[in-house]
Structure 1
Amino acid sequence: MKLAKIISVLSLLVILLAVNWSIYRQEQVLTQGKTVLLKLMPVDPRSLMQGDYMELNFELANQIRRQLIQQNTDTASSGKLKTQDGYVVVKINQNQEGEFVRIDDGEALAENELRLFFRVRHGKIKFASNGFFFQEGKASEYENAKFGEFKVGEDGNLLLVDLTE
């Protein structure tokens, strides 16, 4: 019985350590990550506002889609992207906006370029988040947003920080 308690306590400590380490890593990205703005594209207005939630679509996602279809002849004929993970290289302009350069091929990055992680799921390109939750009653503050503001970690993972004009 005593051994079971010790194992339970140790298991709980390991879980708490893992959760706190994950939180710490995310906080580091928020404080030390590079800022990049990704241009938003219009979304069907009927699904734009869902309570305190806004569905997001990024111009960069369409550029990635076009490039992936060009690279894969099987995809080009069906138009459907297979499930995959990857990185896209973007150039950061003077306004902090990320501009599509290429799908990452391992080539060295220029000084003003970043690698951003993306996923393809159910034929859609996804970044850190394709949705934005906000405080109740604040929808009007985000209706005219033109960019998603992200913090980018050294590993290319993104955290959505805000929507901006």
Structure 2
Amino acid sequence: MIQFKLRSKARVWLAVLAGILVLIAVNVSIYQREQLLQHGRFVLLELAPVDPRSLMQGDYMALRFEVANQAFPNSTWRRANNHENLSAMASDGAIVVRLDQHQVGRFQRIAKPQEILAANEVLMRYRIRNDQVKFATNAFFFEEGQAQLYEKARYGGFRVSANGDMLLHSMHAADYTLLKKQADE
């Protein structure tokens, strides 16, 4: 009976410890993302056309970015692998973009390990999922009734860390202005 109580107490303590470790990991991740939003380099990526709405998931914009088309000129990853410069690439990696005067990133090259970047260049990580190149996210969700505002979006605003991690920060119009939620009347 004593041995059973010890095992039971050990299991409870192990469960409590595991819960604490999970909470610590989640909070560290949240803190890192908040730091990226506050201190990351601001970069605009031009949007590429895609169907913007889903009735099942609510109002959102499905996102694709022009730099993906520039980096991988063929429409799918599988076809892009036939391109001579991409044969050694993994399905996840990074590109280098050059920023113009409006902070719009234009594809320059596939990043090499430990590459030194110029002052106006930024490293951006990508992932290949379902034969499509994705940067940070492939959707921007917004409140119901705001679709007309976000139909004007031409750029996604990102915060980017030095190692290429990115978070979608905002949506911007063709004149680079921030698209903000319209106040309720």
After TM superposition, is the score higher than 0.5? yes
Cα distance between partner residues in 1 of 2:137 and 2:86: 26
Cα distance between partner residues in 2 of 1:140 and 1:134: 11
Cα RMSD, aligned residues only:
1.8
Residues 86-165 of structure 1: pairs in structure 2 closer than 5 A: 86-106=93-113, 107-165=115-173
> With CA pairs under 8 Å and 6+ residues apart, which has the higher RCO, 1 or 2?
1
Aligned to 1:78: none
Indicate which of 59, 64, 72 corresponds to 2:66: 59
In structure 2, runs of 5+ residues without a counterpart are: 1-7, 74-79, 174-185
1:61 aligned partner, one-letter code: A
Indicate which of 24, 33, 49 corresponds to 2:53: 49
Q: How many residues are treated as equivalent by the alignment?
A: 155
% identity of equivalent residues? 43
Is 1:31 the counterpart of 2:51? The answer is no
Q: What displacement does 1:70 show?
A: 3.6
**Larger helix share, 1 or 2:** 1
Aligned to 2:180: none
Question: Which segment drifts farther, 82-91 or 52-61?
Answer: 82-91
Aligned to 1:20: 27
In structure 1, runs of 5+ residues without a counterpart are: 75-81
Q: What displacement does 1:154 show?
A: 2.1
Q: Structure 1 residue runs of 4+, over 4 Å off?
A: none
TM-score, with length taken from structure 2: 0.78
Indicate which of 7, 19, 30 corresponds to 2:14: 7
**Which structure has the larger Rg over C-alpha atoms?**
2
